[in-house]
Amino acid sequence: MRSTILKILRKAGASYISGEEIAKRLGVSRTAVWKHIRELREAGYDIVSQSRNGYALKVAPDRLLPEEIKNGLRTKRIGRDIVFLEEIDSTNNVAKQLAAQGAAEGTVVVAEEQGKGRGRLERPYFCPKGKGIWFSVILRPQFLPREAPKCTFLAAVAVAMAMERFGLRAEIKWPNDILHEGRKLTGILTEMSAELDGINYIVIGTGINVNIAAEEFPEDIRDKATSLSQMKGEPLPRIAVFQAVLEAMDELWALLEREGFAPIVERWRKYAVTLGQEVHVIGAAKKETFDGRAVDIDEEGALLVETEEGMRRVLAGDVSIRPKQG
């Protein structure tokens, strides 16, 4: 109902439209219309009213509300269902619960603030209120569990593609860190529920630093993190950025289903900054480290590192990669 009222008000533009006319179109009472208008105002919409003229929408809020995200969104699956939360510990946790309950593929969970955002290897991720895009997407792929890293690469490429629409050039550090001048712009965490022979669901959690000023980052990560607004030199519209990301994900997911992982890999290479670098590989338990040159990724997304002892295959879930010092 609220979405329909917003569509009517948007179509009217700067003109006023009466509560009676809105009620007639919706087949409800004028009192019901008034109640929904009140709820929209409470959500942050600047809807003005004039006696005898009705209502007009002046300004929509800078909030990641489903009505705003869906307005003009051009996707076939991803983002058709959107769950909005003001504040949550982790959108991934909510998305996993929804997925286990049968939520449709493409369902998006988005929050204005995330209290316990995390990335790979359980590293914490800074998710301040109203400053970024913190969301998770539910997917139900037909491939085997060992192929799940494909989704992580897809998410990184989607963010990079979306950035290009705003004139920003992304750099991807293997496997999925989006960087600018060596500082991190995003965090991506893929989790799944699977059996031996198939995947029940995959949840891709993504955090994008959009309008965070340098001084707003905690001191311990200030020299390691940045935001799109710092990169651009001005604030960016979060709704438009989010729509661009969802549309890129939708396009890439259809491409993956249609043509396999190869075209995703090719697009990933376009943005990759790890390939060709001398790297220091650190095992998750730090029991093994080795140096080498990152030469490529294989058909499953594993990093191929050329060492003195020969080629080593590095899995995304096993290690952290650091540029070799000296």
Q: Return d(Cα 230, Cα 217) in angstroms, integer.
A: 12
Q: Which two tokens stand for residue 125?
A: 């991720």
Interatomic CA distance for residues 312 and 289, integer angstroms: 12
Residue 97 annotated as part of some ligand binding site: no
End-to-end CA distance of the chain: 62
Q: How open is the CA angle 165-168-170, to the nearest 5 degrees? A: 110
Annotated binding-site residue? 325: no
Q: Is 90 annotated as a binding residue?
A: yes
Q: Which amino acid is at 130?
A: G
Spatial separation of the C-alpha atoms in residues 7 and 2, rounded to whole Å: 9
| 324 is annotated as contributing to ligand binding | no
Q: Which long-range contacts (CB under 8 A, 24 or more apart) does 101-104 make?
A: 103/138, 104/80, 104/138
**Cβ atoms within 10 Å, residue 177:** 19
* Dihedral Cα 135, 323, 165, 262, nearest 10 deg: -80
Instruction: Using DSSP, state whether 50 is helix, strand or coil.
Output: strand
Task: Tell whether residue 92 is among the known ligand binding residues.
Answer: yes
Known binding site for biotin: residues?
90-92, 114, 118-120, 184
Known binding site: residues?
90-92, 114, 118-120, 184
